[in-house]
Amino acid sequence: MLQYTQLPLDRHSSERKDPNWLLNKRPLGRYVLINTDRNLFSIDNQTPLFLSYEQVKDFTPDNAIYLGEHQCQHYFALDVSETLANDCAYAEGEFVDIRRYGSIVEPGAAAILVLARGLCHWHKTHRFCGRCGNENIQAEAGHARKCINRDCRHLTFPRTDPAVIMLVHHMFNDGIERCLLGRQASWPEGVYSTLAGFVDPGETLEAAVAREVMEEAGIAVQSPRYIASQPWPFPSSLMLGYMAQASSTDIFIDQDELSDARWFSRDELKHFGTWGDAGTDYKLPRCDSISRYLIDTWVAQNEENK
């Protein structure tokens, strides 16, 4: 299962615009605290903490962002960054990047956490109107920001940046099929991942796949095939996963994009470690990422065909 894709919430898109409806939901809500883009987890068992209204009343919960309802329980996100500064510890929990525990968090809870993180980050980075420069204030239960300038009143909505991510594969003359993986210099040593990049304005997803692979690795591709998508609010991406066949094999990397790129067989990938493992050996990307999902899917295809 692809993590962060199983959001169980009814977002109540119409009802949440009603202040009275929202007011009645807050006292019985469950609150997701966000501190400098980090979620609150239990120190004892690494599970996410959802707090009651009483537990968060010192953090002005009336400004909380409405996330949605699941099984008669209403969820809110509350950014406490300015109150707690860079403190990692709070009550019985600690604030950590969800990607530390992302692969082991229950799928529904994980999707709620990243939704909260993404919305809080958007509010933090869109405090001023893009049209007139005046201050924006929260609107529509946190799903919009409204300019306070009476002559403007422009509404801004949460942004999502589409990005393609693709596993490129090719059957070589030796009869072994290999996939193309690259690495960035900033990653932990030994980590290789699928190629990815943002979609340009006026560009189809398929064209973005071909362009990004050519720009980053000098490889021509054909027949891109859509596999799956994944919200990736780090800070605001939607990853659109593809597989594509390579029609060339000589790699010419763009040093501004990648520090290395190589072809790997399925057998080689089976001996890779995982992001976060100690040592300098080859490692696969994070288990909660669509990059890892694409790699695992491609490796499994060979087993299914046996």
pLDDT tens-digit map of 144-172: 999 999 999 999 999 999 999 999 999 99
The pLDDT, as a whole number, for residue 85 is 63
Tell me which of 88 and 24 has the higher pLDDT.
24
Whole-number Å distance between alpha carbons of 48 and 135: 33
CA 187 to chain centre: 17
The pLDDT, as a whole number, for residue 84 is 81
Mean pLDDT, range 170-176, rounded to an integer: 97
Report the percentage of the chain scoring pLDDT > 70: 96
φ, ψ for residue 15, nearest 5 deg = -65, -35
The pLDDT, as a whole number, for residue 276 is 86
Provide the CATH number for the domain formed by 15-125 in this structure. Answer: 3.90.79
The pLDDT, as a whole number, for residue 89 is 59
- Summary mean pLDDT of the chain: 94
Could you tell me the two tokens for 296?
């695992």
Q: Are 145 and 68 in contact (CB under 8 A)?
A: no
Mean pLDDT, range 92-113, rounded to an integer: 94
Could you check whether 15-125 and 161-301 share the same CATH topology? yes
The 10s digit of each residue's pLDDT in 269-303 is: 999 999 988 877 999 999 999 999 999 999 999 76
For the cut 80, the answer to whether the pLDDT of residue 88 exceeds it is no
Mean pLDDT, range 32-42, rounded to an integer: 95
Mean pLDDT, range 208-217, rounded to an integer: 98
241 Cβ contact partners less than 8 Å away, ≥ 6 residues apart: 164, 165, 166, 167, 226, 227, 228, 229, 230, 290, 293, 294
The pLDDT, as a whole number, for residue 32 is 97
Could you tell me the two tokens for 291?
């990059």
The pLDDT, as a whole number, for residue 87 is 61
Alpha helices per DSSP H over 218-289 = 266-269
229, 5, 271: which is closest to 113 by C-alpha?
Answer: 5
Q: How many residues does the chain have?
A: 306
The pLDDT, as a whole number, for residue 303 is 61
**CATH class of residue range 161-301:** alpha beta
The 10s digit of each residue's pLDDT in 184-210 is: 999 999 999 999 999 999 999 999 999
Whole-number Å distance between alpha carbons of 302 and 177: 10
231 Cβ contact partners less than 8 Å away, ≥ 6 residues apart: 4, 5, 111, 114, 115, 118, 237, 238, 239
For the cut 80, the answer to whether the pLDDT of residue 257 exceeds it is yes
Whole-number Å distance between alpha carbons of 245 and 222: 5
Q: Where are the domains of the chain?
A: 15-125, 161-301
For the cut 60, the answer to whether the pLDDT of residue 74 exceeds it is yes
Tell me if the bond preceding 235 is cis, omega within 30° of 0.
yes
Mean pLDDT, range 110-118, rounded to an integer: 98
Q: Are 37 and 117 in contact (CB under 8 A)?
A: yes
The pLDDT, as a whole number, for residue 60 is 83
The pLDDT, as a whole number, for residue 65 is 98
